[in-house]
């Protein structure tokens, strides 16, 4: 018994030492730690990074993995392709998953021209899929990405098998959330990030169940938002002035609309509007979840999607 207790004590000490070294490593080398964490998540999900240049000169950076029907996943405003990396772990066994940085974000092109409306983004993505040799696709998107996915389906309905809209943007016929009303009064959107503290505040604002990320790594992640804030203001204006309702009215594409009940960015009542306008749409509300379901509860979010796809 004494030997076992001593062994257990030694194991506890080793674990504590390793944990301390890990924390120290994150604090001392936050950039490297962040890149390593992302690489690990991608590997676990069976995703690899790729680059492609379109005929018009725009460059897309994207993650890809899995086999089966093509599933294109689109991140929200201010996000990037890794917003879908965690949930992709449950999807790549069933689908050929493609997750791009949308134009204006991440490592894809940031052209200094007016090409950022949802229709513009949909046309860029259509060119991407054509270049990849994909003629039929299932589409998923969160927030702005959901808005773009729905607009894509309205433009290229013959090529879209189904839609998966996670707290999609663009439904402007419902009352704005208190947060959006406050932003209008103050003349500044909390979605625009000017420093690390604002990024951390936004990180906890958009999610009711945010995954734990050390502050040092959040500060690293904030840098892309800070450096891109001028362009993001223009993009936010472009998507905010384009209502989704006219695009999807009568759209027959089978659609799963998912909304986090604790979404403080976009009004959950928007989901009811969409299922009223779209004949083959169904609404699923996730209790205790905020604006980014695929990050807050990737397992349940993927399970609900797989059930939806199996029903088609």
Q: What is the CATH class of 45-311? A: alpha beta
Residues facing 49 on adjacent strands? 63
Alpha-carbon torsion angle 161, 166, 170, 172, nearest 10: 120
Burial profile 98-115: b = 16 or more Cβ within 10 angstroms, e = fewer = bbbbbbbbbbbbbbeeeb
Angle at 64 between CA 61 and CA 70, to 5 degrees: 115
Cβ 66 vs Cβ 46: under 8 Å: yes
Burial of 218 (0-12, 13-18, 19+ CB in 10 A): middle
Catalytic residues: 75, 143
Per residue in 77-129, pLDDT tens?
Answer: 999 999 999 999 999 999 999 999 999 999 999 999 878 999 999 999 999 99
Integer Rg of the chain from CA:
20
Q: Is the pTM of this model over 0.75?
A: yes
- Each domain of the chain, given as residue ranges in start order, spans 45-311
Per residue in 25-79, pLDDT tens?
Answer: 587 899 999 999 999 999 999 999 999 999 999 999 999 999 999 999 999 999 9
The answer for residues whose C-beta is within 8 angstroms of residue 172's C-beta and 6 or more apart is: 240, 243, 244, 245
DSSP designation for 158: G
Task: Round to whole Å and give the CA distance between 218 and 138.
Answer: 32
- Please compute, for residue 307, the number of CA atoms within 13 A of its CA located in the half-sphere on the CB side: 10
Cβ 45 vs Cβ 65: under 8 Å: yes
């Amino acid at each position: 018994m004494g030997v076992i207790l001593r062994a257990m004590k030694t194991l506890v000490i080793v674990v504590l030492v390793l944990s301390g070294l890990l924390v120290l490593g994150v604090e001392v080398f936050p950039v490297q730690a962040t890149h390593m964490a992302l690489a690990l998540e991608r590997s676990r999900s069976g995703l690899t990074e790729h680059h492609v240049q379109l005929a018009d000169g725009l460059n897309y950076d994207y993650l890809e993995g899995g086999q089966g029907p093509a599933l294109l996943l689109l991140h929200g405003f201010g996000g990037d392709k890794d917003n879908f990396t965690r949930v992709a772990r449950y999807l790549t066994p069933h689908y050929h998953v493609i997750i791009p940085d949308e134009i204006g974000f991440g490592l894809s092109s940031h052209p200094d021209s007016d090409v950022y409306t949802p229709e513009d983004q949909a046309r860029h993505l259509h060119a991407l899929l054509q270049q990849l040799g994909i003629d039929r696709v299932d589409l998923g998107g969160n927030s702005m990405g959901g808005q773009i996915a729905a607009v894509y389906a309205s433009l290229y309905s013959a090529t879209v098998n189904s839609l998966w809209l996670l707290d999609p943007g663009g439904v402007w016929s419902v009352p704005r959330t208190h947060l959006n009303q406050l932003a209008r009064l103050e003349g500044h959107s909390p979605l625009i990030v000017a420093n690390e503290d604002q990024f951390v505040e936004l990180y906890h604002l958009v999610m009711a169940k945010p995954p734990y990320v050390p502050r040092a790594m959040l500060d690293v992640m904030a840098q892309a938002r800070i450096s891109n804030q001028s362009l993001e203001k223009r993009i936010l204006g472009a998507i905010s002035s384009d209502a989704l309702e006219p695009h999807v009215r009568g759209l027959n594409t089978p659609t799963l609309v998912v909304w986090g009940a604790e979404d403080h960015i976009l009004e959950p009542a928007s989901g009811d509007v969409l299922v009223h306008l779209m004949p083959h749409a169904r609404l699923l509300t996730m209790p205790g979840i905020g604006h980014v379901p695929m990050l807050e509860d990737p397992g349940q979010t993927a399970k609900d999607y797989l059930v939806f796809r199996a029903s088609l």
